[in-house]
Chains A and B, each alone.
Chain A
Amino acid sequence: MRIAKHPILDFKKQKRIPFYYNGEKIFGMTGDTIASALHDNGIMVYRVTDKSRKRGFFCAIGKCSSCMMKVDGIPNIKTCVTELKAGMHIECQKGKGSYK
């Protein structure tokens, strides 16, 4: 879901960029955060806590730790404030995260 028309802001058409979610190739747009690109693809669960509770988009300003995911092998990345780059490998994080 994206806002196409806004009363006071202009959204220029952006380039589509490919990235991977749990190994599957999907697309976001230049200027997206990782979280916004996932949201646009209908992906709402970003991590599962060690008590098996699902977590997704929440504060969207890098404060709440809800959207932390594994990005290119590094766990606990706040995806709501991290810019999407082409070819990134994003994984749903299980538990506290690891470097394995």
Chain B
Amino acid sequence: MKAAADVGIIGGGIIGSAIGYYLTKMGLKDIVLFEKDYLTSGCTGRCGGGIRQQWSTSDNVKLAKRSVELFEKYEDELDFDFEYIQQGYLILAFTDDEVRDFKKNVAMQKKHGLKVDLISPRQAKKIVPFLNTNDVLAATYCPTDGLANPFLTTFGYAERASEGGMTILRKTRVNSIERKGGSYRIRTDKGDCTVKYIVNAAGPWAQEAAKMIGYDIPVEPERHQILVTEPLERMVCPMVVDFYHGFYGSQEKRGGFVMGESDPSEPVSYKTSSHWKFVESISKKFTYLFPRFSNVKILRQWAGSYCVSPDAQPILGPISADDPNYFLAVGYSGHGFMLAPATGEAIAEWIVKGKPLTTDISHLTMERIEKGDYSQEYNVV
């Protein structure tokens, strides 16, 4: 193992890989990425792959919009087919309260330049002809939202970053971190490495990585289950999101429907086991929304952990004023994959250039949590 490096990234998921990629792109070479198992082995490899810009907070909209700008260029830039498709996101409203909130959200999103519209159930039915719109009051639709393959995107980042000089240490678990002068010594089960900067991109295990230098950060792991059906011929089908029943689902590029739900009774845990109750519950929601597909067969189910923050927005930047070189890129609350490009770029700029330049993430630091000065993101499944 390298005895010293400029930056040590903890976590080989989409976030760690994106940050590594942007660091190397900005000219930094001496980077080590520590991954306890294999790339995408945590929550990235269990993610549904949705890319959405329709959020209820300005900060999430800004990050998501910038991310889509970057996703659109990746096939050439990373020279990698990561199965990216822009087939839109259709979000359904079932109550008057939802319609009111959606109107407010759309106005805010439009202010940020997002192409999004509040549409009638009839217009929604035009976009998704097989959707049951009987109880739908309104919907919002953004055609540039989409879907990509989280595995391939991570591998794309990792390959380009490796070419740029980043060392990826797989099967290497970080056990502890010691402060050593102005730097940190990262102790792993394969040896030690002294680094100037640490990036905590440990996803659901972010809290443990922060505890290693004595901080208790307010993020928690939460299991979310998901399944995929047999592949069918490709249809034009945007991701359909239903916050009221707690459902999201879309047809991926290879033809299977990927879907998941939110379960408010899910306790805090690292558990990633699957349960038949999920299959029963999501089947009801799916066949209610898509009655035509009530005979489609389920291929497999799995589960992963969200890293949930108090306001469902990521926590980015230095962990505290005392440790300005320990960066957090955690707490993505189930939308880390889709925010990875913009936050990867922002954290890399912060490290290399002293501050984030492209996207303003000043409201997403630890400071907001400590002061309790934050706005809740509501558009989460």
A residues near B (Cβ < 8 Å) are: 74-76, 95-99
Contacts and interface: CB of A to CB of B under 8 A. Distances in A.
Contacts of B296: 99
Interface stretch (B90-98, B230-238, B337-345): B230-238
Interface of B: 130, 230-233, 235, 255, 292-293, 295-297
B297 A76 contact: yes
Nearest to B233: A98
Given A75-B232, A76-B230, A96 B297 contact: no
Contact of A95 (B233, B235, B292, B297): B233
B130 to A, nearest CB: 8
Nearest to B130: A99
A99 B230 contact: no
A74 B230 CA distance: 12
Given A96-B233, A99-B295, 19 more contacts: A74-B295, A75-B232, A76-B230, A76-B232, A76-B297, A95-B233, A96-B231, A96-B232, A96-B255, A97-B232, A97-B233, A98-B232, A98-B233, A98-B235, A99-B130, A99-B232, A99-B292, A99-B293, A99-B296
A87 B296 CA distance: 22
B206 to A, nearest CB: 39
Contacts of B297: 76
A96 B292 CA distance: 16
A95 B231 CA distance: 10
Nearest to B235: A98
A23 to B, nearest CB: 20
13 contacts: A75-B232, A76-B230, A95-B233, A96-B232, A96-B255, A97-B232, A97-B233, A98-B232, A98-B233, A99-B232, A99-B292, A99-B293, A99-B295
Contacts of A98: 232-233, 235
